[in-house]
Amino acid sequence: MCLAQFHHVNSIGHDKMDKDDVEVVEKKTVFKGYVAVDRYRLRHRLHRGGMSDVLDREVVERGHVAAVLPVDFPRDKVVLIEQFRPGAFAAHENPWLVECVAGIIEPNETAEQVARREAWEEAGCRMDVLIPMQRFFTTPGALTENVQLFCGLTDSYGINGVHGVEHEGEDIKVHVVPVDKALNMADHGAIKNAITLIALQWLAIHYHALKNRGP
């Protein structure tokens, strides 16, 4: 079951530009490994009129992501995970980050399927109801990655331990945290992952309405 989002907000302005206002002169894949890097030579329409000069831009093809914040409303708990992140390590930060459950959407999968699968693999959570939170880019200046974020209704009783798919090198510790504590962590810088910050901020706005909505 997947509940509809609460509302829709129109885009700003009436003269909205879109992908048809971009001309690709050349596209070449310059690296392909865990991620792919494409080099674009392109020009685009300008707000002031006319077209830009030809720009050279590298874009990382990361794949699209489904992420879910499991929430136990009767117990006022959320389920978070902690795992090693090489990007944070390379940035000289603590590389063990507290995060939402998340995974890459593979071909022929829906975001909802990935959210449910990853919740079980990474946290041992089962959920019947997924409530769409937001859909957004993480770093659109350089990555194609687009995230579909859900709030997942779950029963947190007995959820604990270390999870993950061994052949994927996953070593994921589960934390069942009171909602107030999770929001405090987000507010005071203990959460460094942008997806998780967005999820917790959304939850702070909608928590009481969702808790009181009934079956």
The CA-atom distances, in angstroms, between 82 and each of 52, 130, 200 are: 44, 22, 16
- Do 95 and 167 reside in the same domain of the chain? yes
Q: Domain of 98? A: 65-211
User: How many domains in the chain?
Assistant: 2
Tell me whether residue 192 is in a domain. yes
Q: ∠ CA(154), CA(155), CA(157), 5° rounding?
A: 145
Tell me whether residue 13 is in a domain. no
User: Of 209, 202, 168, whose CA–CA distance to 186 is shortest?
Assistant: 202
- Do 89 and 158 reside in the same domain of the chain? yes
Give the C-alpha separation, 210 to 206, whole Å: 6
- Do 82 and 107 reside in the same domain of the chain? yes
- Do 143 and 50 reside in the same domain of the chain? no
- Do 42 and 102 reside in the same domain of the chain? no
Confidence (pLDDT) at 214 = 59
Contact 61, 144 (CB under 8 A): yes
Tell me whether residue 167 is in a domain. yes
pTM of the model: 0.87
pLDDT in tens, 164-184: 887 888 889 999 999 999 999
Mean pLDDT of 103-109: 93
Mean pLDDT of 148-176: 91
Rg (CA), the chain: 20
Percent residues over pLDDT 90 in the chain: 83
Q: Which two tokens stand for residue 83?
A: 């795992």
Residues with catalytic annotation? 168
